[in-house]
Amino acid sequence: MKNTGKEYELVVQKVFQSILDQKFVKNITVQHDITLQGKSTTHQIDVYWEFSDGISTYATIVQAKDYNSRVSQDKLLTFKGVIDDLPNHPKGIFVTKTGYQKGAKAYAEANGILLYELRQPTDEDWEGYIRDININMTMFSPHVSNFKIGIDSDWLKNNYHDTSVEIKIRGYAHEIMLYNEKNEAIALLNETINSVIKKHGQGMSTKHIEENFDEPIFIHYAKDGIDLLKLKNISFDLSFNTYKETIEIKGDDIVKFILKDVLKDKINNIDPSFHVHL
């Protein structure tokens, strides 16, 4: 199939539109494949770019060529003729994939023509950088079963002469508050459980955990004439579900194109959404 260059021209248009979107200018227009009337003849323009800074209007024409070899000086001579024939002598930008011959670069620099390379990144571009990253993750999800709250029976007997109280948890652990002996809230039950799990670490097999409270810990009971009920410990069976996942970050999915200002030897990366990282 013949390469008409239209696909490359559209890529160039998207790139320069992205650059303009990041600049603080007004009345921006980026058009593809338009015809402009010159002083002597009409000219087909690959990409036409016009904007205003609020005071003056500026115009730039972009020549986009999908060549297989480096651009020669005669191509720049022809482009300069188009620039000179158009009214107000717009700024000229030449864009290609394959670079420029020495004479073409010298002529462009002498005549104020900007030269760019727009191409996909090569292995050489990635030298000194990490191109692909593979992240292997192993995640452990704790599972708690047979959860029980132990009552301080000695405290209960000394204060209420009763050791028959049995706690039945109603509600979720993240809704149940624990209190100190001054009836001040100190932590949610699930926070305490998570702290115990963290202390005991991970393991492949199920283990029984029993955690005694060093400081007086109470829970609201509001039954049998008991407001706050002192706890002795919590206990539960702890196991971990294991999940493995690999995350692949491909450099080619992050950097879609390379935009190089040839005369300044400055490179900008372009992501798949055509955002130019200036």
Reported confidence tier of residue 46, pLDDT bands at 50, 70, 90: very high
The pLDDT value recorded for residue 205 is: 78
Query: Residues 109, 160: one domain?
Result: no
**Sign for the pseudo-dihedral over CA of 13, 14, 17, 22:** negative
- Assess whether pLDDT exceeds 80 at residue 65: yes
The pLDDT value recorded for residue 141 is: 86
Nearest Cα neighbor of 230 from 183, 171, 195 is 183
Domain with 268 in it: 6-121+255-277
Query: Residues 116, 142: one domain?
Result: no
Reported confidence tier of residue 166, pLDDT bands at 50, 70, 90: low
Give the span between the Cα atoms of 192 and 263, in whole angstroms: 64
- Token pair of 48 as six digits: 């036409």
Is residue 189 situated within a structural domain?
yes
Is residue 1 situated within a structural domain?
no
Is residue 201 situated within a structural domain?
yes
Query: Residues 142, 79: one domain?
Result: no
Is residue 131 situated within a structural domain?
no
The pLDDT value recorded for residue 58 is: 80
The pLDDT value recorded for residue 165 is: 66
Query: Residues 186, 206: one domain?
Result: yes
In the block, which residue shows the tokens 């049995």? 166
Is residue 129 situated within a structural domain?
no
Half-sphere exposure of 245 (CA within 13 A, CB side): 4
Query: Residues 10, 116: one domain?
Result: yes
Which of 11-20, 35-44, 56-65, 240-249 is modeled with the greatest confidence? 35-44
Greatest C-alpha distance within the chain: 111
- Assess whether pLDDT exceeds 80 at residue 5: no
Is residue 163 situated within a structural domain?
yes
The pLDDT value recorded for residue 1 is: 46
The pLDDT value recorded for residue 43 is: 94
Query: Residues 96, 202: one domain?
Result: no
Please check whether residue 41 is in contact with residue 32, taking contact to mean a CB–CB distance below 8 angstroms.
no
Is residue 58 situated within a structural domain?
yes
DSSP state, residue 123:
T
Number of domains the chain contains: 2
CB count within 10 Å of CB 276 equals 19
- Angle at Cα 30 formed by Cα 24 and Cα 31, nearest 5°? 170
The whole-model pTM stands at 0.61
